[in-house]
Amino acid sequence: MEGSTTTRPAADPPPRLWRGDIAGVLALALLGFANLAAFYGLEPWLRGKGLDAAQAGGTIAAFTLVALVLMPSVAARVSVASAGWCTVAGFAVTLLVLPLYLVADGLLAFVGLRLLHGFGFVLTLVGITTRFVALVPPQRAGEAYSLFSVADLLPFALLPPLLELTLPSFGGDAGNQYAAMALLQAPALLLAVVLARRVAPPSSDVAGAPGGKAGWRGGPVLALLLINTAAFIAHAVLFSMAKGRALELGGEALVGLFFALQTGTIMVLRLSAGKLFDRLDQRRASAFGAAVVTLALVLLALPIGGTAMGAWVLVPVALLLGIGFGACLPLLNALMHRHSPPAQRGANINLMMLTLQVGYLFGPLLAGLVVNWAGYPAAFVLAAVLLAPAVPMLLRLPR
């Protein structure tokens, strides 16, 4: 007995995370989200094409709506074996769509274009996520999802300033930049084909026990989906309302610094603490992140306009948000990975991705209604109230 316990660590070495297939999937995630991040300025571009504010907003929402409608059914039908070719199909659709931004004209054409673009993104995201989940060892889930979140976050940090810098070279028309993004998607399509032709992970990594319950049912899975939805609603409220609150506080000069500090802190934390995330109690660490974000939301809602503190509260709030979201969001995915039956991991992580779309659809809508009724502070209070229950819910999850 004693000899068997002393030799077990040698028989079960820590699983290796960095392999060629995982690196390839992370590269595809970065390239896929780069295509998404390039459209940060779509609303004013559509307005310049003759659409009014309501039409432009509806056109942008079409992309999200197609994801909400199609993602659950697509995720339920895509297996690990077919995930690679699903990714190929997604990049192929995107490659076809991007040049059409040069020729589309009128409301119906733009709506149809965004629906097709959203369909391509759904295929890409479901394929990438399903394959990635199958490759992640549960013992390295915290580090793996930290890396995945950096891959999808990095384009949003790099592309907006790069595209603004190069816009004059494209004749001042963002439509030319959208079409040029096809040059980035073409190598992504080739890489997706190469990875799709590789042998899928062993079935033991993805097959669940016979007679297991559906992956989306049960306490931990449902709780994590609700918590992730609340976290992305809070994230969307911040993204859409932080500038308005900063201007209200007299912090116009700090808006750029606020978003840069937040994004930079998230990326530094996830890159530096990825391995640590697998050693900590992920329930407590994620609950800590949710509590920190809740605190930051409350600070933004404090009546400090016109005081000596005033707009400078944005600096510590940005750091708190970076720490909170940097810890909470990847660990929620890691917890879902651990609490899902192996056969349902891909579907459940895709549902976690779907909550991002839900949060960014309903977050701004709810916040807009609340701001019209009671001002910006009330919107941040609402986000804090929705997120606060996540702390006890996470602490009550089984180990």
CATH match for 219-395 among 2.60.120.460, 1.20.1250.20, 3.40.50.300, 1.10.287.3510: 1.20.1250.20
Residue 72 vs residues 78, 79, 112, 185, 379: alpha-carbon distances, Å: 10, 13, 21, 25, 29
Q: At what angle do helices 314-339 and 141-166 cross, to 10 degrees?
A: 130
Provide the pLDDT confidence category of residue 207 given band limits of 50, 70 and 90: very low
Other CB atoms within 10 Å distance of the CB of residue 353: 21
- Per-residue pLDDT, 215: 41
- pLDDT tens digits, residue range 158-199? 888 888 888 899 998 889 999 999 998 899 999 999 998 876
Residue predicted with more confidence, 300 or 239: 300
Instruction: Enumerate the CATH 1.20.1250.20 domain ranges in the chain, comma separated.
Output: 19-206, 219-395
Confirm or reject CATH 1.20.1250.20 for domain 19-206, answering yes or no: yes
| Sign of the Cα pseudo-torsion (256, 260, 261, 266, in order) | positive
Confirm if 335 and 351 have CB atoms less than 8 A apart. no
Percent of the chain with pLDDT over 70: 88
Please, what sign has the CA dihedral across residues 82, 86, 89, 95?
negative
b (16+ CB within 10 A) / e for 199-234? ebbeeebbeeeeeeeebeeeebbebbbebbbbbbbb
Q: What is the DSSP letter of 342?
A: G
Average model confidence (pLDDT) across the chain: 83
Find, among 174, 144, 158, 165, the residue nearest to 337 by Cα. Answer: 144
As a whole number of angstroms, the distance between CA 32 and CA 270 comes to 20
Between residues 98 and 277, the one the model is more confident about: 98
Question: What residue spans of 136-212 are helical by DSSP H?
Answer: 141-166, 174-180, 182-196, 203-206
How far apart CA 200 and CA 205 sit, in angstroms, is: 10
**Residue 139 DSSP one-character state:** G
Tabulate helix, strand, coil % of the chain (nearest 5). 80, 0, 20
pLDDT at 379 over 80: yes
Locate tokens 């992580």: which residue? 349
pLDDT at 350: 84
